[in-house]
A and B are shown apart, each in its own frame.
Chain A
Amino acid sequence: MYNSQPQQLKGEAFASFREFRDRVLQGIRLGARVVSFWGYPAHDGMVILVMTLAFDKEGYLETLSIGVKGSYDSLTPCIPQVHWFEREIFEKWGVRPEGHPWLKPIRFENTHNNNQSLPSVTDFMRIDGEEIHEVAVGPVHAGIIEPGHFRFQCHGEQVFHLEISLGYQHRGVEKALIGGPDKRTIHYMETLSGDTTIGHSLAYVQAIEGLAGCSVPLRASVIRSIMLELERLANHTGDLGAMAQDVGYLPTSSYCGRLRGDFLNTTALICGNRFGRNMVRPGGVMFDIDEAMRKEIIKRLKSIFSDVRNAVSLMLDSAMVIDRFDETGTLTKEEALDLGLVGVAARACGIERDVRFDFPVGAFQFSQIPVSTYSTGDVFARAFVRWLEIQRSVEFILKQLEALPAGSINVAVPPLQKEHINVSLVEGWRGEICHSIITDQDGKISRYKIVDPSFHNWMGLAVALRGEEISDFPLCNKSFNLSYCGHDL
C-alpha cells in the first residue's frame, strides 16, 4: 500500500508466528524499517499484532498482522528498532515478548488501576563500583518543559548509561478515539503534541480522507503544506535558539526566541492561532489565503528569514559554539539505523529519510523538498540539518505562494470504508508521524494507533549520552528536542 491509501483488513494470513517473523526479517533485509508495531485485543484472549514496514526507496508500505496468545518470541534481538514497540505491546495487552532484553512498561499506564509504580519509582539498570553514582532528574524540571524522568549512571562527570522513563503525560488519547470520528476527535489530534498541531492533524485527516476516498482540492493541499512548513520553521528556529542558550551564546538565543514567535504569528495570521489550531479539517482547510494575505506572508517571511540567517550564521561562525557542538552527543549511522531513528536526528547521521520525499502526498507530490542531511551525527549535525531545512522550507513556501492554485479549500467527506486499515505518514518537524486507523463494520474507528517521531527517537538520546559528560545533557536533549506527550499519548 502507499501512504494514506487504505487496504482491506483481511490481509495476508500467516500460519505461524515463525512465518510472520521470517517475512518481517526478509523485509528488513531488503531495506525496510518498522514505522509502527502495535496490537489490539481480539476474541478468546487473542491479541492481533500489526506491523507496518516502510520501504523508503520504493515509497511503499507493507502492513502485516498475526494473532498471538500470551507470548511470542521477541523480535528485538534481531530487529533492535522494535524494542520500544514490544515494550508498549507488553504493557498494554500483557503479551510477553520472550527474550526481550529489557522488558518494562514505557508509560506506566495502569498506575491508577492496580497500583503499579510511577515512572520514577521502578527498577533501573544500575552500575555498581567505586566512584559510580546515580543521578535522578525529573519529573519536574528546572525549565518550563514537560515532565519525564532521567536516570544517569555516572562515573565522576562521565555518563555510563542513561535510562529515560516516561509516562507522566499519559492522557489516554488512543482509547478515547475509538468509536469516532466525533466532535472531539480533531481536538485530540491538535493537542496530541501541541507544538506539532499541524503535523498530527494532517496525519489524521490524510488517514480519514483515504478511508473516505475523498480527494482534497489542490489549493487546500498547498495551504496545508505551507502550514506544515511554517510549523517546521518556528520549531527549528526555536531549537537553534535553545541550543545557543545551552552553550551560553546569548545573542542567537535571544534573536531566535523572537524569530520563532514571528513564525508562529505568521501561522496566526492565516488561522488565528499561533499553533495552527482550527486550520486542518477532514476535507480541506478552514481558512483561505487571500491576495492581500499572500503578499503579507511573502513580505514577512523574507524579512524574518533575513534575520534568522543573521542570527544563525552568527552562532555557526562562533568558535566557542562550534567547539561545544562538535563531537558532542554523537550517534553513528549504524546506531541510528539499528534504533530506527527518524527526522532530524536520523538525517544528522547521514540517513536520507524524509516522508516528504519518500512518501509524498498532497503538494509534496508536485513540489519536492530536497532531503537535508549531514554526516557527523553530533549536536552540530543536528543544528546544521535544522538550518538547512529552514532554508529549504522558506524557499518551498515562497514558491507555493508565488503560484497558489485557484479553487475551493474544502470538500464534503463521505462515510469511511468499512473494515479497512489505513496508515498515513507525515514528516512533522521532529520527524515521521504515523497514524493507523482500523474501521469497524459500521465505518467507525475501531482502533487508532499513533506513533510520534519521539517514540523512535528517545532511545537515540539515551545512546547519544553514553560516554558524554553529564553537563552536556541539556545541550544533547535540546538537540533532539523530543515530545513527552507525543510519546505518552
Chain B
Amino acid sequence: MIKTLFARLKQGYRTIPFPVDSKALPERYMGRPVISVDVSEDDARKCEHVCSTGAIGKNNERFVLDLGKCLFCGECQKACSGKAVSFSRDYCLAAENKSDLLISNVKAGQARELSKKIKHIFGRSLKLRQVSAGGCNACEADINVLNTLSYDLGRFGIQFVASPRHADGMVVTGPVTKNMRLALEKTYAAIPAPKLVIAVGACAISGGPYKDHEEVNNGVNSIIPVDLYVPGCPPHPLTILDGLVKIMKKR
C-alpha cells in the first residue's frame, strides 16, 4: 500500500491543460496547411504531381488543398519548397461540412456550434460509441488515448460507451470496408435519435490511401450522414479533442 502511495507521488499530476498553445506540439508536427496568396502555375503542378491521394490541385481556377484527403505527409511542401503550401502547427482541423475542409488562400470554416436543438439535448454531456470500419489502429489508438489521464476526456463531459444503445453518437474510423458496412449500419440504427456521427481520419472522410479500392467504400458519408469531420492520418489526439469539444461548444 505504501509503495502505491509513493508511486502516486512519483508519477505526479499529468493531465494536460486544454486548449493548449500549438507551440507545445513538436516542431516537426504538421498541422493545418497554409496556402500562399500567390501560387505559381509551376508550383501548383509540382504539388499536384507528388500528392498520392489527389488532395491538392486546381479546383475551379483556385488552388485548393482538401484536408479530408490529405495524409499530412508533407510531400507537396517539399516539392514546392514551401512556396505554395506550408504546414503550420495549428492542430485545430475539425469541420462540420466537407466544403469547410477545402483550404485555399481564403480561410476555411471550422467546427461550429451544433444546431440549437441538438445542443439543447447534448449540451452538457456526450456519450459516444466507436466503430472501427477498416481503420489501421492508428486513429483508434489516438482516440483511445483521450481516455488516459493525459487528456482526461471525462472532464469535458464526453465518454466512450460500450453499447450503441447508451450512445448519443458514433465515432467512425476507417474507409468503411465492404465487410464492415452492415455492422456499421446496424450500430448506427441502434443509436437512439437524434444522433451524431463523427468521422475521424482521412480514411473515414474520403477513403484515404484506400480511396477507390473495390474492397472499401470511400468514407463514412457514402453510407450515413456525418456531422463532424476530423482530418489527419491519424489526427493528433488534440485535433480529435478539439473537434469533440467544439461540437459541444464547451470552451
Total number of residue pairs linking A and B with CB closer than 8 Å = 182
Asked if A272 and B26 sit within 8 Å, CB to CB, the answer is yes
Interface centre among A140, A142, A146 (most CB of B within 10 A): A140
Contacts of B155 in A (CB 8 A): none
Partner of A317, one of B3, B30, B209: B3
Q: What 1/0 mask marks residues of chain B from 143 to 171 whose CB sits below 8 Å from any chain A CB?
A: 11101111000000000101110000000
B140 touches A146 (CB 8 A): yes
22 A-B pairs in the complex with CB atoms less than 8 angstroms apart: A118-B182, A140-B131, A143-B130, A144-B144, A147-B131, A169-B132, A169-B177, A170-B215, A171-B134, A171-B213, A183-B51, A191-B138, A191-B203, A194-B135, A258-B11, A265-B26, A287-B28, A311-B11, A314-B3, A314-B7, A483-B137, A485-B136
A111–B136 alpha-carbon span in the complex (Å): 20
| Residues A167 and B179 in contact, CB atoms below 8 Å apart | yes
Contact of A145 with B179 in the complex, beta carbons under 8 Å: no
CB A270 to nearest CB in B, in angstroms, measures 7
Given A176-B213, A191-B208: A139 touches B3 (CB 8 Å cut-off): no
Chain A residues with a Cβ closer than 8 Å to the other chain, count? 59
CB of B140 within 8 A of CB of A171, answer no
**Across the interface, which residues of A come within 8 angstroms of B114, CB to CB?**
none
Asked if residues A184 and B3 are in contact (CB atoms below 8 Å), the reply is no
Residues of A within 8 A of B (CB): 108-109, 111-112, 118-119, 139-140, 142-147, 167-172, 176, 182-184, 187-188, 191-195, 197, 251, 254-255, 257-258, 260-261, 265, 268-275, 277-278, 287, 307, 310-311, 314, 317, 483-485
A307 partner residues in chain B, CB cutoff 8 A: 10-11
Instruction: Give Cα distance in the complex from A265 to B142, angstroms.
Output: 12
Residue with the greatest number of chain A CB neighbours at <10 A, chosen from B141, B208, B210: B141
Q: Indicate if B47 sits at the interface (CB-CB under 8 A).
A: no
- Please report whether the interface of chain A is mostly helix, strand, loop or mixed according to DSSP: loop
Say yes or no: B29 contacts A171, CB within 8 Å: no
Which residues on B sit within 8 Å (CB–CB) of A195? 136-138, 141
| Pairwise interchain contact B179-A272, C-beta atoms closer than 8 A | no
Give A194 to B142 CA distance when docked, in angstroms: 11
Interface string of B5-41 (1 = CB under 8 A from A): 0011011001000000000011111100000000000
Residues of A within 8 A of B53 (CB): 184, 187
Q: How far is the CB of B234 from chain A (nearest CB, A)?
A: 7
Chain B residues, Cβ within 8 Å of A268: 25-26, 28-29
Q: Check: B216 CB closer than 8 A to any chain A CB.
A: yes
> Do residues A191 and B136 form an inter-chain contact, with CB atoms below 8 A?
yes
Q: Mark B182-220, 1 if CB is under 8 A from A, else 0.
A: 110001000000000000000100001110011110000
Does B246 sit at the interface, judged by CB under 8 A?
no
Q: Say yes or no: B52 contacts A184, CB within 8 Å.
A: yes
> Which chain B residue has the least Cβ–Cβ distance from A138?
B183
